[in-house]
Structure 1
Amino acid sequence: MSATQQFHQTANDCLERIAADLWPEAKLALVIYTPNKPELDIVLKDSGLNVDEVVSTLRRRGGLGLDGENIYKRLLCDAIIGAMAFGKQNSNPSPEGHWSKEFWDIGHAEGALQDELTQALRLARKELDACQRVIHYAGGFDPAYVNDAQTALKVADTVLEKTPA
């Protein structure tokens, strides 16, 4: 028997003895890790162990929080960001009932609102430009109004250049 197999057997025997002295609903898990060497990680767990409850226990009692860096949180955040980006683009919708659907819906709503605001800005820019042309041809209007409107048109053009047609 290899040293690793012997360790697993010894650890398992110890966990079984500890588990026997726990209250009936209690579950037990042992995690051994070596920093920067995930290939050496060992996880021993009771049958029927709910790993989500283990994470919740670590959050409540073990100092696991949202701050700090770990790959699980990074991957989860990446999935949320991706779902929101796909929602904004109205592509690759999350399946109904999937946890990421809420984030896809948020991205989709924001994308739809951006499209609506862009169209409203395009319309306002078009109408303001038309008014400016009428004022220019009619003559006799206050130049300050014309200058302010031209500035507003430039602001609208700057924003519209950043959005897809």
Structure 2
Amino acid sequence: MSATSRFHEVANDALVKISNNLWPEAKLALVIYTPGEPGKDIVLKDQGIVLDEVISTLRRGGLSIDGDNAYKRDLLDSVVGAMAFGVQNQNQPPSGHWRQRFWDIGREERALAEELTAALKLTRENLRACQATIHLCGGFDPAYVTDAQAAMKVADAALAKVSA
């Protein structure tokens, strides 16, 4: 019998003995890890254990959302992806799924960006029309013309960044 197999057998026997002395609804898990060597991870757990409850228990015991771990990175990648898909109006999560909230945020941000872009286009066109009128009529303060042209350049630069 290999050392790993023997360890599993001994650990399992110990966990059974511990479980027999716990209150009836209690669940037991054992995690062994070697930093930087995930291939050596060992997770032993009772039947019927709810892993979300294990995470909640670790959180109450000091696990921080500020720590750096693969689970958190994967979760945040999912959140960012849901928001990006919402902006693109693609891959909507199933109804009631936790990512729906983030997909909706993406949709709302896209709608706001489109609304602001339309307002900026309208304002820019009105400013252009004013500039044309001033040019045709003459007699207006040249500083106004210069300032308005500078404002139009700012609007043009912002509109060039938006693909609408």
Could you say which TM-score interval applies, normalised by the shorter chain?
over 0.9
Counterpart AA for 2:17: R
| Corresponding residue number in structure 1 for 2:124 | 125
2:48 aligned counterpart, secondary structure:
coil
Question: 1:162 offset after TM fit, Å?
Answer: 0.8
Partners of 2:92 and 2:9 lie apart in 1 by 46
- Deviation track 1:99-139 (CA, whole Å, cap 9, x = no partner) reads 11110110011011101111110111011101110111011
Q: Given the alignment of the two structures, is residue 91 of structure 1 paired with residue 90 of structure 2, yes or no? A: yes
Structure 1, unaligned runs of 5 or more: none
Q: Hey, what does 1:112 align to over in structure 2?
A: 111
1:8 aligns with 2:17: no
CA distance in 1, matches of 2:95, 2:119: 32
Aligned residue for 1:24?
24
Taking only aligned residues, the RMSD between alpha carbons, in angstroms, comes to 1.0
Structure 1 consecutive aligned stretches of length 4 or more whose deviation exceeds 6 Å: none
CA distance in 1, matches of 2:94, 2:24: 38
Gaps of 5+ in 2: none
Q: Aligned partners of 2:117, 2:44: CA distance in 1, in Å?
A: 55
Distance 2:163 2:102 in 1: 23
- Is 1:164 equivalent to 2:151 in the alignment? no
Alpha-carbon distance, 1:33 to partner: 0.8
User: Which residue does 2:81 correspond to in 1?
Assistant: 82
What SS does the aligned partner of 2:31 have?
A: strand
Secondary structure in 2 aligned to 1:158?
helix
Q: Which residue of 2 aligns with 1:100?
A: 99
Quote the offset at 1:11 in angstroms: 0.4
